[in-house]
Amino acid sequence: MQPAGLAAARLTALTHAMQGYVERGEVAGVVSLVWRRGEIGYFEPLGWRDQEAGLPMERDTLFRIASMTKPVTSAAILMLIEEDRLALDTPVSLWLPELGALRVLRDPSGPLDETDPLKAPLTVLDLLTHRAGFAYHFTASGPMADAYAQAFNGIDARGDGSAWLARIAGLPLMFQPGTRWHYGIATDVLGVLIERVTGMPLGDFFRTRIFEPLGMRDTAFSIPDAQLGRLATAYGVEPGTQRLVVEDHPSASRWSRTDRFQSGGGGLVSTAQDYLQFAQLLLGRGRVGDTRLLSHRSVDLMRSNFLTRDQRRVPAFGHVLWAGQGFGLGVSVVDDPAQQLPLGYRSMGSFGWPGAFGTSWFADPVEEMIGLMLIQRRGLEPFPMAVDFERRVYDAIDI
């Protein structure tokens, strides 16, 4: 019997497709994993974790998972809600008084000093659903884009979340809280909120409450010197030539610094095996094996769409993102699979959220399946590798 009910010949086709991206020089290497119905049916490292040094990808290679950090932070917030330390409708200024006097731009692309007061307080739910009015420098325009770039400038050298929040508090919001989905630093703000509520550094809370209970030994905000050799080199894409250029090398990686900003929105490193454990937690509605970290209800809410019909009509990242999927508490969730095509093949209720270095994952409750595809390639243009991976994984389902 083929493991996990996946057809061997079609998994071979998946391997050939992934290898093609390596051979064409589009990525240095990739680690792909498919778990289905309680077992790993595919776990394949291909190519190089360091192309220049000829070091191969391994199953335990470390990856910068960027925004795949966001669902972890969201789960941590839900744990605090279950403990009655927060609520979805809690005004965040109760814990983050720096955000008590926020203003909102009259024109999202306009001058930073032309603002209106908040019409409603900023809540935990606004932050979880990216309807807080915050942005990133690459999702903002006009003076706001420059202001966000400056707010993050050098932040890795300053590990103090409160100092970072003070810089953010000086910027206006782009939109009134709750009114529209706009991708930004909301989950980083949640990370600082977790620190305030618990009195612990974010990394310590993650480690003691999530990573250690799940056996996630390699997931953290920084990497010990002895383990740096396992970190894959991160590459950018040179405009014009499309050639890969080194962006972050293990020998001088900022992920080696223990004092770097613990970004709840994008700071973790992890492995395929580790993140599988976290994905299983969400697919298992809060439980992995005998370990329960969240209630069914919390995870069901996390995997429910919170966007209104009008909010789903607003383009995101330059296209209509929400035709076949909505957004929950830190993850996107498919609620109309036919509207996803040709961009994806996930079943009703499937969920996930990718990262800026090309890492991606999904969990499918219909097929009882999790797919992970980890690369280290940052590029602004659409890159089809994750969609290609998902299509071939679904094609391989045999029983």
pLDDT digits (tens, 9 = 90+) for 214-232: 999 999 999 999 999 999 9
Res. 130: pLDDT tops 70 = yes
Three-class DSSP category at 47? strand
Cα(368)–Cα(362) distance, integer angstroms: 11
The reported pLDDT for the residue numbered 146 is 94
The reported pLDDT for the residue numbered 379 is 84
Q: 88-198, which class in CATH?
A: mainly alpha
Homologous superfamily (CATH) for 3-73+202-395 = DD-peptidase/beta-lactamase superfamily (3.40.710.10)
The residue ranges of every structural domain in the chain are: 3-73+202-395, 88-198
Higher pLDDT, 350 or 240: 350
Nearest Cα neighbor of 220 from 229, 210, 234 is 210
Res. 34: pLDDT tops 70 = yes
The reported pLDDT for the residue numbered 343 is 63
Half-sphere exposure of residue 120, counting CA atoms within 13 Å on the CB side? Answer: 14
Res. 153: pLDDT tops 90 = no
* Residue type present at position 77: I
Q: Which residue has the tokens 């776990």?
A: 43
The reported pLDDT for the residue numbered 381 is 79
Cβ neighbours of 326 (radius 10 Å)? 24
pLDDT tens-place string over residues 85-103: 999 999 999 999 999 999 9
Residues 257, 156: contact at Cβ < 8 Å? yes
Number of residues assigned to the chain: 399
Higher pLDDT, 383 or 152: 383
Cα(223)–Cα(180) distance, integer angstroms: 37
Contacts of 245 (CB under 8 A, 6+ apart): 235, 236, 237, 238
pLDDT over 90 percentage in the chain: 91
Contacts of 71 (CB under 8 A, 6+ apart): 278, 282, 302, 330, 331, 353
Whether 67 is a known active-site residue: answer: yes
The reported pLDDT for the residue numbered 210 is 99
Annotated catalytic residue within 32, 67, 253, 298: 67
The reported pLDDT for the residue numbered 340 is 81
If you ran DSSP here, which 8-state letter would residue 269 be given?
A: E
First to last CA, the chain: 10
User: Would you place residue 158 in the very low, low, confident or very high pLDDT band (cuts 50, 70, 90)?
Assistant: low
Three-class DSSP category at 305? coil
pLDDT tens-place string over residues 253-291: 999 999 999 999 999 999 999 999 999 999 999 999 999
Res. 212: pLDDT tops 80 = yes
Cα(219)–Cα(75) distance, integer angstroms: 15
Cα(222)–Cα(203) distance, integer angstroms: 9
Q: What is the mean pLDDT of residues 156-163?
A: 79
User: Would you place residue 174 in the very low, low, confident or very high pLDDT band (cuts 50, 70, 90)?
Assistant: very high
The reported pLDDT for the residue numbered 1 is 63
Cα(92)–Cα(85) distance, integer angstroms: 12
Contacts 24+ apart (CB under 8 A), 358-361: 358/27, 358/383, 358/385, 358/386, 359/63, 359/64, 359/65, 359/66, 359/68, 360/68, 360/386, 360/389, 361/68, 361/275, 361/279
Res. 307: pLDDT tops 90 = yes
Residues 49, 61: contact at Cβ < 8 Å? yes
Residues 178, 120: contact at Cβ < 8 Å? yes
pTM over 0.95: yes
Residues 357, 372: contact at Cβ < 8 Å? no
The reported pLDDT for the residue numbered 155 is 66
The reported pLDDT for the residue numbered 157 is 59
